Each structure stands twice: as structure tokens, then as C-alpha cells.
Structure 1
Amino acid sequence: MPRLAIHRLSMAHPGDLSALEALIARGEVRAGEIRAVIGKTEGNGGLNDFTRGFFTQTLMLLLASQTGETPAALAARIPCVLSGGTEGALSPHYMVFSVSDEAAAGRGLALGTAFSPVTPAREIGRVAQIEAVVAAVRAAMADAGIARAEDVALVQVKAPAPQAPDPDARSTDAKLLMALSRAAAAVGAGVALGDIPADHATEAALLTDLSLYSNRVSISSGVEVTCNEVVVFGHADGWAEGIVAGVAPMADLLDLAGVQAAFAAAPGEVLGVIAKGEPDKTGAIRGHRHTMLGDTDIDAQRHLRGALGAIVAAVAGDGRVFVSGGAEHQGPPGGGLVCVFARSA
């Protein structure tokens, strides 16, 4: 029977894997059992944020030294979902998800992974990417043994962004293309979960029809990946008990009750937190103007991460929170979602 384990580890810099190396040396984590890594690095979260690639390269070199596999082979089977930007109270960290076999019976939190085919620039933000994510999410569910979409707690995707301008791309605006990639991945995941009708999953709907969203989808995009890397969490028979996931939507950036609901749904020792948020496109929060979208000095997503990070970290009592902006089609417009992993009391 598989058992999921989660270790949340701090880092001194984007290439610091010493905490994981120590766990492996002590036998607390087996390198060959690591299935996914999700973390926050201290870059800017933009196209030129190379902290994410630096971390991934260092991670794969470490695991290669422990397993005998090549870094390329490891990168092709272990999703490494990194979000840049640790503004404010946020602390750089990474969550290591490993799966071991043991003799037990029950129904517990399951993890499955899948990779879409390489996504060229011409397919980003188009139906081809939506369909590729639909297929990858369903493959990840099958990998975890999750039989029903309603048993999925969260889908985490790292979506690609082109490293250089491409004449075949849907847009020449690099930031817009990153947003389109997140949107296509979110809609694709929502279709796979049955949260978004398949016949509404069109190119025209991306970034425009914000009534289409899933409360169980978290997407990040970046130049360090070339395909859609998918991690699915949900409940399935045959997985050991002990870890729970609490997920709740945030109606807006000030929805403290939504944050608290996610923590209440996962009582016990907190093992990790994932939060998505988005500056409200109306330019206001609860009727009052915000300036995140009009600030020419600080990117709106950096405003978002600093604000949402403080709210979630205050509830968690820990700055090691995965807070990511760009929540297109991921929760209510102007809001987002929170997922809490915990070891049940």
C-alpha cells in the first residue's frame, strides 16, 4: 500500500538543497521515492526569473547522485513546480512529496503525476494546450488510483512559457503569453474535473469568461519547463491514512474566512500550504479602489503575493507558504483558493 509523506524544507538560497540532502543521509527520505516537489524561490516570478531553473537543476543533480539516474530522466518523471517571488513575510521553501510502500489498509490522500507532450509556443493559450492538460490530469488521476473527479482535492500544474519571442505564438506580449498558458492549463484541469463544461473551453474564453473556473486548480507558468507538468492530490482506496488536504475558495483578497476554512478542513500538524490569488480586474476590493494594477514601479503580482502571503502566513503562523499570483480561472474572479496539507491529529 502506498503512503504519502510531505516534508516542508527551508532554503538559504535557490540552490540550497542541504535540508533534503540531510534527510536522505539520515534515511528519513529515500531519493528514489520522491514523486514531486513544489516550492517558492526568491526571484521575481517573471520571464527572467532564473532562480526556478537553478533550483530544479540543483535538485536533479542531487537526486541523480543518489539514484544513479540521469538528471534528464529524473526531470522527465518528477514534476518540479516552482513559483518565484517571496515578497513580504513569505519565506523561500520547498515541499518534497514522496511515496513509500507499506502493509496497511485504508483510504487516504493519494498523489499522481503526469506530463503532457512538449508544448510548442504556437500551442500555448490555444485549444491544443487545453486538451493536453485535460489528458494529463486524467492520466495523473489514474496514476494515483483516483477513480472519481469528485475525489480530487487539488490539481497543481506547472505550465510552459516560451524562452524567446516566437512568430507562431498567439501573442508577442511575453507576460500575456504566460497568463494565457496559466489560463489554458486551468481551464483544461477544470474540464478534466467536471468543473468547467467542455464545450465552453474555447480559446476565446481564456482570460475573458471568468465565470469559468475551478476551486480545485492551481497553476504556475514559467520558462523553465517545456510541457505541462501535473500533480494531482485526492482521496483513493489503497492509500495509507494520516495526511489530509483542506481546500477552500477565497471570494476576494480579504477573504480571511476562506483561508480559515481551508485550515479548519485540515486539522492537525500543518505540512504545507498552497494559495492562489489575483488582483481584482475591476480595480476595487469590496467597493474600495486598489492600486495594484496601475502601479508602474511594482508589478501587480508582487503586490498580490505580498498581501495574500501576509494573510495566509498569519493564519498558518509560518512564512513558508506557497503563494502564487496569476489565478486566472482558478477560483472566483478577484479571489483564489487555499489548500492546506496536514498530518491528521
Structure 2
Amino acid sequence: MRQAHVHRLAMRAPDDVSGLSAAIEAGRIAPAGIVGILGKTEGNGCVNDFTRAFAVRALTDALRPHLGDDALARVSMVMSGGTEGALSPHMLVLERRESAASSPSPALAVGSARSPDLPFEHLGRRPQALMVADAVRAAMADAGLDDPADVHFVQIKCPLLTAGRVRDAEARGQTVATRDTLKSMGLSRGASALGVAIALGEIEAARVTDDVIGRDTTLWSGRASTSGGVELLDHEVVVLGMSAAWTGPLVVDHAVMADQIDVEPVRAALGRLDLGGFGQIPAGDRGRLVALLAKAEAGTSGTLRACATPCSTTPTSRRPATRGPSWPARWPASSAMRRSSCPAAPNTRGRTAAARWRSSRSARRPIHPAHLPHSKARSLHDGSCSGVRGAGQARDRSRDHRHDQDLRLARRAWRRVDHVRPGSFHALLGENGAGKSTLVKCIMGFYQPTRGTVLVDGKETDIANPKIARDLGIGMVYQHFTLVPSLTATENLVIARAHVPAVIDWKTEKKALDALFDRMPFRVPLDVPVSSLAAGEKQKLEILKQLYLDQKFLILDEPTSVLTPGEADEILGLLRTMTDAGDLTILMISHKFREVTAFADEFTVLRRGQRVAAA
């Protein structure tokens, strides 16, 4: 019989595979049995998140001596970013081995599969969902799971669009679902989630058409977790379920949550796993929890619960119109396990948590759409694994607590960042959570440092708010767009000024803008709503806005995150020319070392709120 093993390994950085190598060296992991590796890399989770590919390359190099050159093809490596410093990078290694032992009850089963390469014109459309459905069925067959009801968790890694992939499709006479590479993330993940739902019988395939993907939130999967990346062209699929053909101490269950703080379904799932699902897990049982995997989508309502209007999200899941999350949240993947000594059982009120687990597997089916939850939580458990991260702990580490921590880090960082030379192009580097963004927000007046002083042109200055910073000639291009979508580019530029007349002479304004654009190596459409611009054009407009406002000290927070390399070089080259001429001073936060080495003449590195290097 086959037996599943789950290994949770810490990582100091996205390319840190020392834990995996040590486990292989010690014989705790057999490389030939590795089915998949699920990892969190602490990247920004966006289209340009290089940490995912960085981790995949390091893992491939570590496994190549054992598996040969096809290591990447044999092992599903699903790396996900977006933890934003809320937890340490880590990986979950899923392994299976042959075992002579038998199990009196079903045990954890693990399978994986890959789809063919996805034609770029199919991304975010019905053909992608059908391709994923076929891959999920193949992964189920690999795990020996015949009944979709036995599947509890499906992890998908799906491809995304890049500017080059869009051009490739259009050169072949094809159209793509979107030319916005950022929007391709939601469409690809949404189509993939619906593919899982088709394979598991949660929805009928006929209901999935091009026009519902990314729009119709009544279509959802209660067991899909999707992650996107530009580092692959196909889909990687990992399936976890329960099978009587497998043996071992590990069992898995799942629940669907209404929102990020809906802990009751999690408690119920833990109860079915005989882990004390009501209240906290008893201290003696906490070491049995090996992994908790959760996935959440951000809502648009601005409230966590009791939304006044229906809330929308990607079709990874759906929630009722009266409930929805508020903050953008990516829940961390964690783990948990226990010895499977109980047969499956139904979820019947009035019974103990263990009895509900024992009576029937029907309790583990997805919640009916009438009670549709927003987030999906799954857990594994075992008698020997240590290290627990419950859903409540994951939530507490996400938004509110991190805000306070960033302030503390920034205060330490602020004492050590001494000088940005006039006319320089200064790069600010550091891992997520190092204090970079909060440091520049101190400069902009959003936060107030508790110690130290801010000197502008050698004079001590109290920057109490962003208006003061603007009046001092300090501008900032943020990670997220600050443009008004319904206004044109011209209107966005004009209203950004500190003083705008009651009656605007648009003819004069447009002449001034034309004069500005004549000095630029690029242009953006001025007379169309910003909502119709591509992500790269919006980012160019954000930078042009600061130049239009004649700000002399410009802070850039990852300014090229949605730009192609050519566009990035074009913009940064212009800014470097202006700094060389003494017209501008740049402080740029970046994770792209190529851009830093090509354009910056000075840099500072922060780590855990302190300066650790500078040049």
C-alpha cells in the first residue's frame, strides 16, 4: 500500500533549500517519492514576483542530482508569494512511499499531474477551465481517488500573461482575454478554480463560458486553491484526499469559511479530525496538527461583515451578499496532522466532535451554495509532527499586528538611514517587512518617527502630513495606483496640483501637457478614461504626474512592478538622465537587482528595521 508523508521545512529565503537537502541527506525524505512541494516565498504575490521562480530554480537544482534533468517535470513545485512579511518563508514537501503496513480506515492520499502548455489566447477563458479539469482528473487518478467526494484539497499553479505572451498571441492573429498582465492573474486563477469545480462535480461544465469567468460569483469551488505565475506555461495540480487504498497516520478534512474570521467551520473540521474542534485545540493535541491550508480572496465592500450591497470576488469562491471581507488578505499555508484511528462518520448535531468524524464522509462535502463561504480551509494531522499555526493565529499576523510592527521597524530604520545625496539615484533594498515602505511614509508625513529628525536641504523639518511633503517638493509613486479611474489622464494630472482654479482653461492645460510630453521618451493617451489604460500606461502616468508637479525629490515604491523590462529601462533611463543633470533626486524601493545595478548610483539595505549595508 502507498503511504503519504508530509514534511514542513523552514526557509530563510526563497532560494534556501538547506532544509530539504538536509532531510534528503539524513534519509528522512526520499527524492524519488516527492510528489509536490508547496511553498510560501514572501514575495509580493503579483505578476512580477520573482521570488517564485527563484525558489523553483533553487529546488530544481537541489533535486537534479537525485532525479536528473527532468526534476522540474517530475515534481509539482507550487510556489506562492504574497505573505508580505507576515510569516517566514517555508515549504511543505508531500512525499509518498510504499508500505507493507495496512490501515483499518482510509488515510491521506496524494497525487499530482500537469496539463499541456496553455495557448495564451485561452487564458481566462473556457478552454483553460476544461484543460484544468482534465489535469485534476489525472491527478486524482495518480492518487487512486475515483470518487470526487474523497477529494479535500486541490492546489493549482496556473500561468499568467506577460507583454511578450500577448504579442505572441496577437502575432498569430489571436486575441487575449486581457492585455493587462495584472488582470490576467484574476482571470487565470478564476478559470483554474472553475476547472477544479468541473472536475469535482461542483458545477456543470456547460455553465462555464468565457463571459462568466471573473464575473459570475455564483460559480465557485469549495476545494480549490489557485496560485498564478509567469514561471510556467502549463498547469501544475496537486490533489489531497482520503483513500482506503492508502495507509498511514495522516488524514485530511476541509471546511468552507464565510469570511476570514469565520472560525466555526474550522473548528468543526478539526472536530471531525478528533482534534477538539470546539474552543482551542488542547495543548496535548497541538503537536498532532501538521498543516493548515487556507485560501482567502479580498472583497470590495470595505466591510468585513454585514455588507450593504452584494460583494464581488474571483470565482475561486463565492459568499452571500450580506457577508464579505474587507482587507486584501492572502492567507498563509500552514500544516497539521494526527493518527487516523477513527473510521469516517457524519456531521450530526448533538454528537461529539469525534463521533461526527466517525459517522460518514458526507459531512466533508462542500457547503451548499445557499450558505456559501468565502474562504476555504483545510487541515491535515498526525501524531508526531510539531509546530502549529491555527487559522486565528494566521489572521492575527496579517493586517493589524503587522501595521504596528512596521512602525517599530521603521523607527529603527529611520535612525540609521542617514543621507540621500542631492542629485543621486538612491536604491532602498530589503526583504518584505524590513521597514522600507514605512520609512518612506515617514518621509512623506504619513507616519511620525518617534526619534531622530528629518533634514531637507540641511534644515530640520517637521513633515506632519503629505501636504507639507508636497510643498517641500517631495513626491511619491506608490505601489498601488492613485489615479481616478473615471477621469482622463489630462484630468488626473490637473487635479493633482495643490491649487486648481474653479474654472479650468483646458486648452492652456493641454498645451502645457504637450510641452511636458515633448521632453519625454514615451507618451500615454491623454483624452481617454484611466480605466481603459493598460497597467503599464497607468504606471507611466503616475510617474509623469510627479514630473508634471515639478517635484524635485521623488520616492518610487517598486515603480516597475507592472512594466515590461523595455518600459522599465525607458522610464528609469529618463529619471537617471534627470538626476545626472541635477534636476531630480530619486529614492527607489526595488527588488529587481538588474535595475538597481543599471540605474542606481547609491544604495541602502535594510533588514529587520536596521541598515545592514550601504554604498
TM-score normalised per structure 1? 0.85
Verify the 8 A CA contact 1:152 1:233 in the aligned structure 2: yes
Asked if 2 retains the 8 angstrom alpha-carbon contact of 1:278 and 1:301, the reply is no
Unaligned residue ranges in structure 1 (runs of 5+): 294-299, 317-329
Could you tell me which of 296, 301, 311 is aligned with 1:277?
296
Cα displacement (A) at 1:175: 1.6
Match of 1:97 in 2: 94
Q: How far apart in 1 are the matches of 2:272 and 2:40?
A: 24
Report SS of the residue matched to 1:172. coil
Structure 2 counterparts to residues 132-281 of structure 1, below 5 A: 132-165=131-164, 166=166, 167=170, 168-266=175-273, 267=275, 269-281=288-300
Matched, 1:287 2:310: no
Confirm or deny: 8 A CA contact 1:85 1:302 kept in the other structure: no
Matches within 5 A, 1:28-177: 28-67=28-67, 69-70=68-69, 73-87=70-84, 89-106=86-103, 107-165=106-164, 166=166, 167=170, 168-177=175-184
Secondary structure of the residue that 1:249 maps to in structure 2?
Answer: strand
1:290-343 deviation line (CA, Å, top 9, x unaligned): xxx9xxxxxx998313xx55xx98x98xxxxxxxxxxxxx99877210111111
Q: Deviations over 1:150-174 (max 9, x none)?
A: 1111111111112335043210111
- Deviations 1:208-255 (CA, angstroms, capped at 9, x unpaired): 111111211111111112111111111123211311112111101221
* SS of corresponding position for 1:284: coil
Secondary structure (helix, strand or coil) at the match of 1:285 reads: coil
Once residues 332 and 206 of structure 1 are traced to their aligned partners in structure 2, the CA distance between those partners, rounded to angstroms, is 21
Which amino acid in the other structure matches residue 172 of structure 1?
A: R
* Structure 1 pair 63–301 and aligned structure 2 pair: CA distance change class (3 A): farther
Distance 2:264 2:376 in 1: 12
- Identical aligned residues as a percent: 37
Higher share of residues assigned strand: 1
C-alpha displacement of 1:204: 1.2
Residue among 318, 321, 328 paired with 1:303: 328
Q: 1:91 & 1:244 partners in 2: Cα distance? A: 26
Relative distance call for 1:186 and 1:332 in structure 2 (3 A) is farther
Does residue 335 (structure 1) correspond to residue 374 (structure 2)? The answer is yes
Equivalent residue letter for 2:380: F
Q: Which has the larger radius of gyration?
A: 2
CA contact (8 A) 1:160 1:224 kept: yes
Matches within 5 A, 1:310-321: none
Q: 1:101 to 1:44 in 2, by over 3 A?
A: same
> Which stretches in structure 2 are left out of the alignment for 5+ residues?
276-284, 313-324, 337-368, 385-615
| Structure 1 residues 118 and 302: CA distance shift in structure 2, 3 A | farther
Q: CA RMSD in A?
A: 2.7
Shift of 1:45: 0.6
Secondary structure at 2:102's aligned position in 1? coil
On the 8 A contact 1:280/1:333 being kept in 2, the answer is: no
Counterparts of 2:30 and 2:80, CA distance in 1: 25
Say if 1:109 and 1:244, in contact at 8 Å, map to a contact too.
yes
Instruction: Tell me the distance in 2 between the aligned counterparts of 1:273 and 1:58.
Output: 25
Taking a change above 3 Å as real, the CA distance of residues 95 and 144 of structure 1, as seen in their structure-2 partners, is same
Do the aligned residues in 2 keep the contact of 1:213 with 1:332 (CA within 8 Å)? no
| Alignment partner, residue 559 of structure 2 | none
Q: Give the secondary structure class of the aligned counterpart of 2:239.
A: strand
Distance 1:265 1:223 in 2: 38
Cα distance, 1:132 vs structure 2? 0.5
Deviation at 1:114, TM superposition (A): 0.7
Q: Deviations over 1:16-40 (max 9, x none)?
A: 0111111111111111111100010
Question: Aligned letter for 2:125?
Answer: R
Aligned partners of 2:300 and 2:199: how far apart in 1?
27
Equivalenced residues, count: 317
The answer to whether the 8 A contact 1:87-1:302 is kept is no
Does structure 2 conserve the Cα–Cα contact (< 8 Å) formed by 1:110 and 1:235? yes
With CA pairs under 8 Å and 6+ residues apart, which has the higher RCO, 1 or 2?
A: 1
Using the TM superposition, give the Cα deviation of residue 90 of structure 1 relative to its aligned residue in structure 2, in angstroms. 2.1
Structure 1 7/256 Cα, relative in aligned 2: closer, same or farther at 3 Å? Answer: same
Distance 2:54 2:127 in 1: 29
| Cα deviations by residue, 1:171-199 (Å, 9 ceiling, x for unpaired) | 01112111110011100110100011221
Q: In structure 2, what is the Cα distance between the partners aligned to 1:226 and 1:233?
A: 23
SS of 2:264's equivalent in the other structure is: helix
Question: What CA distance in whole angstroms lies between the structure 1 residues aligned with 2:206 and 2:44?
Answer: 36
1:287 shift after superposition: 2.6
Query: Distance between the aligned counterparts of 2:136 and 2:77, measured in 1?
Result: 16
Any conservation in 1 of the 2:299–2:327 contact (CA below 8 Å)? no
2:244 counterpart letter in structure 1: D
